[in-house]
Amino acid sequence: MTRHALIIEDEILIAYEVQEVLERLGFDSFDLAASPREALAYATSHRPSLITADVRIEGGTGLDAVRAITAAMGDIPVVYVTANADMLRREQVEAVVEKPIAWSALAAACNKVCGLVAT
């Protein structure tokens, strides 16, 4: 079974670090998006099993990107990975991992929203 993740992050090194953790959790394909527009295009061309999203990104926010994706495609599990967790206080989000990222926290958040088991 293929597990595909969409990583919405405009800092490429952080995106690759998130990808590395997701690979350990069994994800085997990835799209990396730096803007809401790019994220929506990737999601609609290859539906993700999981979205990780930074809050502040090029051309908008990860919240904007996730809203557009879920409006077009329905619910998809989301983990926000951000240094701006305060921006999420009014939102109803299930999983937030603060930067700098503790990889065990990211794995735990992914497990929470997807029920994954690390390999």
User: Tens digit of pLDDT for each residue in 13-67?
Assistant: 999 999 999 999 999 999 999 999 999 999 999 999 999 999 999 999 999 999 9
Count of structural domains within the chain: 1
- Cβ atoms of 116 and 110 within 8 Å: the answer is yes
DSSP-derived pairing of the beta strands 60-61 and 78-82: unpaired
Instruction: Confirm whether 29 is domain-assigned.
Output: yes
Question: Residue 73's domain is classified under what CATH number?
Answer: 3.40.50.2300
Whole-number pLDDT of residue 86: 80
Site of tokens 């293929």: 2
Higher pLDDT residue, 88 or 116? 88
User: Tens digit of pLDDT for each residue in 82-113?
Assistant: 998 887 877 878 898 999 999 899 999 999 99
- Cβ atoms of 5 and 77 within 8 Å: the answer is no
Instruction: Confirm whether 58 is domain-assigned.
Output: yes
Going across the sheet that includes 4-8, the strands are 29-33, 4-8, 50-53, 78-82, 96-98
Instruction: Confirm whether 110 is domain-assigned.
Output: yes
What is the domain range of residue 89?
4-114
Torsion of the alpha carbons at 54, 94, 102 and 114, rounded to the nearest 10:
-100
Instruction: Confirm whether 99 is domain-assigned.
Output: yes
Higher pLDDT residue, 117 or 100? 100
Instruction: Confirm whether 60 is domain-assigned.
Output: yes
- What the block records as the tokens of 103 is 């990889």
Instruction: Confirm whether 119 is domain-assigned.
Output: no
Whole-number pLDDT of residue 116: 63
